[in-house]
Amino acid sequence: MKGIVLSVFSVFIFIACQSDQADFSAKIKGVEDSTKVYLSKLGKNNQPVPIDTVEVINGQFTLDLAKGEPQQLNMLRVEGVRSNLFFVNENEPLEVNLYKDSLRSSTIVGGQHNKLLMTYMDTLKVNAKVMNKLGQDMRKAMMNQDREAYMGLREEQKRIQEENIAFRKEIAESNPNSVISALALSDLMSSKKLSNDEIKSIYNSFDDEVKDHTLGKLLAENIAKMSKTDIGAKVEMFEAPTPEGDVLSLKDAMGELTLIDFWASWCKPCRIENPNVVSVYNDYKDKGFSIISVSLDKKKSSWVKAIEDDNMDWHHISNLKYWNEPIAKEWGVRSIPATFLIDENGVIVAKNLRGNALRQKVDEILGEG
């Protein structure tokens, strides 16, 4: 899920809580006395909500962990330290050991949910490191024009990506009583690595405590938005400014078959796909094919220039609000390019088709057979 970044302090911390109290007592090295420590909880839309602020005295501090909602996600931040620590408030004894120069050796011990959180984060950190190294090696192979090496690395990259998807899915399916499952499912949903039906099925298996959690409720809202863009769903009409400053509605832009295209001038995959979309449009525009592109740009000049450079001679709208584009948010768009094909009645018949798949679908519907 976009908005949740789990990281660690770049200092050493030792934390011990007594099981019969809700205090978070800590010894901290590497910071001066009077340094502020901030405790927040993860609120709606994944925004931190301040709970408490204390100062380090004699290398120690205590925070009140008064019980909040079950499995409340808390964030700890130290003044002057860029990293944050996320943990689950399980109302159980908690010990944390974090090291400045060896983040991989850092541990959180205390309750089943924090244990699962550490497993989840440790695996993602290892995978991220491996993927970063593969990306570097692939760039070197391209520079050396070593196609064989490049293709081998690409296959390895694909294998690791699939393993990462399977790992997140296993976490979500095997721990229906843990908020970490909601976190894993949110990540999968944001990256569009599971079908809508799979996401709904896993969510429905969650315990009520997870569904009632702040993160679970947000996930339910996003699933509801996702359902609005399932194949077979009838879309809601929208409107926004054109490059010329007029207001254009989807209804007025629709043809017998319409492609709704979420893109941006700064999106490299979008720009790479544009020539294919232009080709399909030119071949089928006289047969009832229409396109309305919704841009996630911020600057009008960049938006207009990209339209001209890529020869996108069709309908364009944007509120120029980047990822806060209201139409994209309403449609649950979290990555671009994102495309939806709708028929003349506004019913989604296909989505996220690329390359020849788009041409084949358009021809299937508008071709002469």
pLDDT the model gives residue 11:
32
pLDDT the model gives residue 108:
67
Rounded to whole angstroms, the Cα distance separating 340 from 254 reads 12
pLDDT the model gives residue 3:
38
Q: Checking DSSP bridges between strand 338-343 and strand 315-317, what pairing results, if any?
A: unpaired
pLDDT the model gives residue 287:
93
pLDDT the model gives residue 4:
36
Q: Are 70 and 27 in contact (CB under 8 A)?
A: no
Matching residue, tokens 């100062």: 55
Q: Which residues contact 206 (CB under 8 A, 6 or more apart)?
A: 176, 177, 181, 182, 216
pLDDT the model gives residue 10:
31
pLDDT the model gives residue 317:
97
Positions in the chain short of pLDDT 50: 1-22, 99-104
Domains and CATH numbers, the chain: 12-104 (2.60.40), 115-227 (no CATH), 239-366 (3.40.30.10)
pLDDT the model gives residue 24:
64
Q: Are 202 and 183 in contact (CB under 8 A)?
A: no
* Tally of CA atoms within 13 A in the half-sphere of 180 that contains its CB: 24
Matching residue, tokens 């671009």: 336
CB atoms within 10 A of CB 174: 10
Angle between helices 196-204 and 214-227 (to 10 degrees): 150
Rounded to whole angstroms, the Cα distance separating 71 from 214 reads 10
pTM assigned to the model: 0.66
pLDDT the model gives residue 25:
65
pLDDT the model gives residue 99:
47
Q: With CA atoms as reference, report the closest residue to 147 among 135, 157, 138.
A: 138
Rounded to whole angstroms, the Cα distance separating 139 from 144 reads 9
| pLDDT tens per residue, range 165-192 | 999 999 999 999 999 999 999 989 887 7
Rounded to whole angstroms, the Cα distance separating 229 from 333 reads 10
pLDDT the model gives residue 121:
86
Torsion region of 129: left, alpha or beta (phi above 0 gives left; psi -120 to 50 gives alpha):
alpha
pLDDT the model gives residue 226:
79
Q: Does residue 50 have a cis bond before it (omega within 30 degrees)? A: no
